[in-house]
Structure formats: structure tokens, C-alpha cells
Structure 1
Amino acid sequence: MIKLIITGVWVAIVTLGAVYGSIQLAKPEDPNAEAEKKKAVQELVHGEMVTFPVIKKGDVAGYFLTKTSYIVDKSKMGEVTLPIPAVLTDELYTAFVGDQIIRIGDNRELDVKAFRERIKNALNKRLGSDVVVDIVFEQIDYLSKDDLRQQRSDKAVNIVHETPPADIPAGKAAEGGH
């Protein structure tokens, strides 16, 4: 009689274990789990305020004031030999001064998404690895030469203003001055 009861309890335990195991295996994966894993290895590095001249007909017409931060993959930071802030400043200088991506007075809209992708891809190409995950333009302002002469910095034209993502931990601020 006791063997029959023990056998029944054993069968019930094995059956419950099999049902529990099959339910656990049949559960769909959490779609947010992959995104959370990626965010766990990302770090926001705050940039610094950088000024770029706007040159028209050989004369300085004004200045762009930018504050650009970037999100990096911490696991790939060991592969980087160049200082990211200096490379970022160089790429922004090429875009603003060399390529004149924003032409004040032409009433052209800046495609922020395309500009962000351009800078990110250029940085990753120069760094030799996909270290930079995203670019955050915290501020892009324009001050004309006349506004500066009048000491009226309240005339700044805000072109882009973004808030860094709150769900990515911030790293130390970029080193060095420009």
C-alpha cells in the first residue's frame, strides 16, 4: 500500500515538473531583454561647448555654438586609440565650416537624423570600430557677428536642442578644451 502511495506521489511530482518545464520552454522571449542588454553596456559621455566660425565671402559672419554628447559601447572602448572628443570636434568642424552643412540665410532645414548618422558613421570609421552608438546634439546655436558686436547673446538662434537619454548612465565629461 505504501509503495502505491509513494509511486502516486512520485508520478504527480514528475508530471508537475514536466508541465512546469514545458511551460517555461514555451514562453516567448522578452522583446525588451535584448534592448536592456545593449543599454547595459552603453554609456553617455557629455561633450563640451565648442564654437565654430561661419565664413561668408572670406569674412566671419557669425558662430555656431554646439554642445554634442555621444553614447558609446563600453565593451569596445578598449579598442579605441584616438581621443573621441578631439575626433568629434574635428568631424563637427568639417561639417560646419568645411562642408557648410548649415547655411545661414539660405532658409534650409537641417535634417538632424541624417546629420547625426553622418557624424556617427564618420566617427566610427575614423576610430576603426563601432564604438559610438549614437550622437546627442544637446545644443546647436547660431550667433551672428552683429549680435556679438552688440553684446546681445539673447539673440542666439537655437537650431537644435536635445535632452540626453535618461536611461543610459552618464560617464565622465569629455576631457580637454576647444
Structure 2
Amino acid sequence: MIRLIATGLWICLVTALSTYAATMWESKTTPATEVDQLFGGLRSMQTSTISVPVIDNGGVQGYVLAQFTFTMNSEIVNRMSITPDVFLLDAAFRTIYATDAETLSGSKKQDFQKLTSAIKKRVNERFGHDFVADVLIEKFNFVSKDQTRQGMEQVKARPEF
């Protein structure tokens, strides 16, 4: 009887210690100082998707749907009283809107390095110092006016419930 109780306690103890060890092993994180050294105190922020009209020959030719991720100095972001994503989206919208319509529609090859550099430069000029470290493209699609009309016709053709 004592052996049975001792064996049960032994099994419970081994199970508890192995569960604790597995949990600690899985949740091992890098200390904050190492993360700061790796990324230099950068913080990333993903914007919502924006829709920018592409205007050429006096009319809308289509829309660019874009989503970006910005890496910024975390110290500055923490001190801001307003979220910086509104400024980031504004700079992205203005830069894409000013881009040549042929380039955006796919007639010419898009230079994404030039686009992201222009967005970064515009945001940093607005804030007066190097606020944005890098601009990354999450999504970038061109949808022609004809494609949007076809999509709307399909939506109208569906019966409502």
C-alpha cells in the first residue's frame, strides 16, 4: 500500500516538473536589451488598406489598393499624443496619387524602391526628423475601372435575403 502511494506521488511530481519545464522552455523570450540591440529600438505599425484613384485623360482609370508597414523609432512613437498612422496613410496616398498613371496600371514596370523611398521622405519631412526608418509594402494591387463595374454588377445580380 505504501509503495502504491509513493509511486502515485512520484508520478505526480514528475508530471508537474516536466510540465513546468516544457512551459518554461516554450516561453523563453529574448531579453529586452537584446531586442533593442537587434532592432535599434524600432517599432512597426501596419496601416489599413487605402484605395487611391488613378486619374488619366480626365477620368478615373482604376484604383490602387495598398497596405504598408512602417518601422519607426519607438521612443518617438511612445511620446506622440496622436497615432502616427494617419500621417503615414496621408503620405502614402499623396505619393501614389502623384505617380504616373501608366506606371500604376501596369503598362510600365513599377519601381517599388522609389515609391517606398518617396513615402519615407515625405513623412520624415513632415515631422522634421528621421521618424520613419523603413517602409514595407504589404499589399499593392491595381484594379481597373472595368473590373470594379463588373464586380458591382455581380453584387447587384445576387438576390437579397
For Structure 1 versus Structure 2, the TM-score category normalised by the shorter chain is 0.5 to 0.7
Could you say which residue in structure 2 is the equivalent of 1:88? 88
Give the stretch that moved more between structures: 110-119 or 93-102: 93-102
* Structure 1 unaligned regions, length at least 5: 1-32, 153-178
Could you say which residue in structure 1 is the equivalent of 2:135? 135
Report the Cα distance in structure 1 between the residues aligned to 2:38 and 2:111, rounded to whole angstroms. 26
Could you say which residue in structure 2 is the equivalent of 1:77? 77
Could you say which residue in structure 1 is the equivalent of 2:110? 110
The one-character-per-residue Cα deviations of 1:25-75 (angstroms, maximum 9, x if unpaired) are xxxxxxxx9996151511111110110001122211110000111011102
Report the Cα distance in structure 2 between the residues aligned to 1:125 and 1:81, rounded to whole angstroms. 19
Q: Secondary structure at the match of 1:142?
A: strand
* Structure 2 unaligned regions, length at least 5: 1-32, 153-161
Shift of 1:88: 1.9
Report the Cα distance in structure 1 between the residues aligned to 2:84 and 2:56, rounded to whole angstroms. 29
Q: Are the aligned partners of 2:50 and 2:67 in contact in 1 as well (CA < 8 Å)?
A: yes
C-alpha RMSD over aligned residues = 2.8
The one-character-per-residue Cα deviations of 1:79-111 (angstroms, maximum 9, x if unpaired) are 656652222222222222234376345732122
Letter in 1 for 2:137: F
Equivalent pairs counted in the alignment come to 120
Q: Are the aligned partners of 1:73 and 1:132 in contact in 2 as well (CA < 8 Å)?
A: yes
Report the Cα distance in structure 2 between the residues aligned to 1:63 and 1:108, rounded to whole angstroms. 16
Shift of 1:137: 0.7
Q: Which has the higher contact order (CA 8 A, sep 6+)?
A: 1
The 5 Å alignment of 1:48-63 reads: 48-63=48-63
Could you say which residue in structure 1 is the equivalent of 2:144? 144
Q: Are the aligned partners of 1:96 and 1:102 in contact in 2 as well (CA < 8 Å)?
A: no
Give the stretch that moved more between structures: 86-95 or 50-59: 86-95
TM superposition score normalised by structure 2? 0.63
Letter in 2 for 1:95: T
Could you say which residue in structure 2 is the equivalent of 1:125? 125
Considering fraction of residues, name the structure with more helix: 2
Q: Secondary structure at the match of 1:114?
A: helix
